[in-house]
Amino acid sequence: MKTRFVQWLETRWYEESVIFWLIPLGFIYQRIIKVRQLLYQHKFLKTEALPVPVIVVGNITVGGTGKTPLIIWMAQYLQQRGFNPGIISRGYGGQAKTWPQVVTANSDCEMVGDEPVVIARQVSCPIAVGPSRVEDAQLLITDFKCDIILSDDGLQHYRLGRVIEIAVIDGERGLGNGACLPAGPLREPRCRLDQVDAVIVNGSASHDSHNMQMVGDDAINLLTGEKKALKEFSGIHFHLVAGIGHPQRFFNTLAEYGIEGEQHAFPDHHSFQLEDFNFPDQRPVLMTEKDAVKCNAFAQQSFWYMPIVAKPNESFISIFETLISKKTHNS
């Protein structure tokens, strides 16, 4: 589980509280980030330009904002437009000995990370993961003839050249107290959002950004694959399990369907074991899809998960179409 100190920090960050004794460290971190940006801008550090367009989808805050479902939507959209997209990711938490790794729907999350496996189960395009996104992309271009690359996260990975940047913001938590790490949740100052091509808010949109909603109306049984509408579970008390960047969003979504139960929040990317589900009663378990891909080996009849899909609004679809038309050369 997260340490109490980290939990305390996140609570303060997103309550928009100022942690005065961390402000000097936040200022130093912000200066380091600025110097690093300048080193790339003035070519003291090299940005690798690739032979195909690269779209980076990222955020400027720590924790989950909904990037991965948006990447899935983008990949499907680009396929419909006649592109052959490839997806790259860090593969956070993956323990593979060599990189990059090609990811399939049957890949081991322990080796390649959980989010890439979730993506592989929903899209049919090639996926590569590894600490060097440039090498990941080069593999997809060479071996799979991808003509456009989607980077799941990587807004701060300046070595990777890109033609389009999309920033995702959590509509519930926003930018927290607006301070940089460790005084706040920002990886980069909020002015970084002025440099991207589009900002999309996961949830309620502000006047200067686009919007998407996460839609999940069904639950799927891990053991049998049976699918049921979430509304069928209304009134049933579950053990609700979430090991994602913002577990409360998942719990709130279920509450909207009348699904309640004991909430079990785990750290993002938690490596689940059967012991994590040793609850004192026999109530069923409902978890996120990101958690479910790590529980197949010990799935039980009472284990269910809720898949979600991103639904961008027309405003974002329009700007995305415009960016694709202007910044790529696919007819």
Structure tokens at 231: 């509304």
pLDDT at 74: 98
The confidence score (pLDDT) of residue 7 equals 75
Mean pLDDT of the chain: 93
Give the model confidence (pLDDT) of 301-325 as tens digits. 999 999 999 999 999 999 999 999 9
The yes-or-no verdict on residue 37 having pLDDT over 80 is yes
Residue 203 is predicted with a pLDDT of 85
Determine the pLDDT at residue 208. 54
pTM of the predicted structure, to 2 decimals: 0.93
Tokens of 162: 């890109």
Contact 85, 189 (CB under 8 A): no
Tell me the two tokens of residue 158. 């300046």
Give burial (CB, 10 Å; 0-12/13-18/19+) of 250.
Answer: buried
- Angle in degrees, CA 294, 308, 196, rounded to 5: 100
Q: Is 272 exposed, middle or buried (0-12, 13-18, 19+ CB in 10 A)?
A: buried
**Domain assignments of the chain as residue spans, ordered by start:** 4-212+312-327, 217-307
pLDDT in tens, 178-207: 999 999 999 999 999 999 999 999 986 555
Question: How high is the pLDDT of residue 205?
Answer: 55
Q: What is the pLDDT of residues 141-180, one digit of tens each?
A: 999 999 999 999 999 999 999 999 999 999 888 999 999 9
**Is pLDDT of 209 > 70?**
no
Backbone CA torsion sign across 183, 186, 188, 190: negative
- What pLDDT was estimated at residue 182? 94
pLDDT of residue 328: 86
Integer Cα distance of 240 and 8 in angstroms:
22
Q: What pLDDT is stored for residue 6 in this prediction?
A: 77
CATH superfamily of 4-212+312-327: P-loop containing nucleotide triphosphate hydrolases (3.40.50.300)
More confidently predicted of 148 and 20: 148
Token readout for 126 is 């090639």
Q: In this predicted model, what pLDDT tens digit does every residue of 43-57 receive, in sequence order? A: 999 999 999 999 999
Question: Does the structure show a pLDDT above 70 at 67?
Answer: yes
